[in-house]
Amino acid sequence: MFELQDQVAIVTGGAKGIGRGIAEALVEAGATVVIADIDVAAGEATAGEVGATFERTDVTSADDCRALVARVVERLGRLDVLCSNTGIYPQASLAEMTVEQWDRMQAVNARSTFLMVQAAIEPMRRRRYGRVVITSSITGPVTGFPGWSHYGASKAAQLGFMRSAAIEVARDGITINAVMPGNILTEGLREQGDDYLRQMAASVPTGTLGEPRDIGTAACFLASSEARFITGQTLIVDGGQILPESPEALA
């Protein structure tokens, strides 16, 4: 359905969760996928299981991001797709949040997006083709949840960055878009506990939580050549979670 045969793609944060779902979908669509993650054991295991390769990368480091892109281009000859997916979401109340917790969230979630996109656009510009897909969230840009004000800020920041960056590279044949997941059943979400999972599932019109593959499918579309006329846009994948005006709408 999507033209990704022989495309070279980097998926940051691809060792687990949504990143793994994106990597799997890209491989199945025909892309050559490089998983970039700081977790070496999980990254190598996932790469072997899904048919990708692995590169240990700290995406909060500008040097690491540039080196990753350089290694991929040297080894594979090109870079067509960047899925900037790395993200963390530890909880902290506003009253107790430290400056260090705030800064760490922005570095991993927002700064990494800037660093990876900046590194990737140079080889994309040379070939006048590129697809960038950012994993944002409904939390922050659309909704909120107690304990995640720093997370929501980082996810909203990604979209502000995306819209201006998309204009800068539009005439170079590069598109930049974002997927905005709702509650996706990842390892991290499971760690929030059964009560949280039940609460979240009850807030979704479909009555279910999403799977990483649901985000992978959306990312594949935005990464495809067919999506050439879409840039600076967002695609919400949440089972309709943001639709109800009140809990009574789901009764």
What does the pLDDT read at residue 117?
Answer: 98
What does the pLDDT read at residue 37?
Answer: 98
Give pLDDT < 50 ranges for the chain. Answer: none
Give percent helix, percent strand, percent coil of the chain, each to the nearest 5: 50, 15, 35
What does the pLDDT read at residue 247?
Answer: 83
Instruction: Compute φ and ψ for 59, nearest 5 degrees.
Output: -75, 0
What does the pLDDT read at residue 188?
Answer: 79
What does the pLDDT read at residue 187?
Answer: 85
- Number of folded domains that form the chain: 1
The CATH number given to whatever domain includes residue 138 is 3.40.50.720
What does the pLDDT read at residue 200?
Answer: 87
What does the pLDDT read at residue 233?
Answer: 98
User: What does each C-alpha distance from 148 to 43, 53, 145, 210 come to in angstroms?
Assistant: 26, 33, 6, 20
Chain-centroid distance of CA 151 in Å reads 14
Residue span of the structural domain in which 237 resides = 8-250
Cβ-based neighbours of 195, under 8 Å, separated by 6 or more:
none
Does a structural domain hold residue 233?
Answer: yes
Does a structural domain hold residue 1?
Answer: no
Does a structural domain hold residue 3?
Answer: no
Instruction: Compute φ and ψ for 23, nearest 5 degrees.
Output: -60, -45
Does a structural domain hold residue 34?
Answer: yes
Its pTM surpasses 0.85: yes
Does a structural domain hold residue 69?
Answer: yes
- The residue type found at 27 is V
Does a structural domain hold residue 57?
Answer: yes
Instruction: Enumerate the β-bridge partners of residue 184.
Output: 210
Does a structural domain hold residue 134?
Answer: yes
| Sheet strand arrangement including 32-37 | 53-56, 32-37, 8-12, 81-84, 130-135, 174-181, 234-237
| Catalytic entry in 89, 129, 151, 196 | 151
Q: Is 151 a catalytic residue?
A: yes
Does a structural domain hold residue 49?
Answer: yes
Cβ-based neighbours of 75, under 8 Å, separated by 6 or more:
none
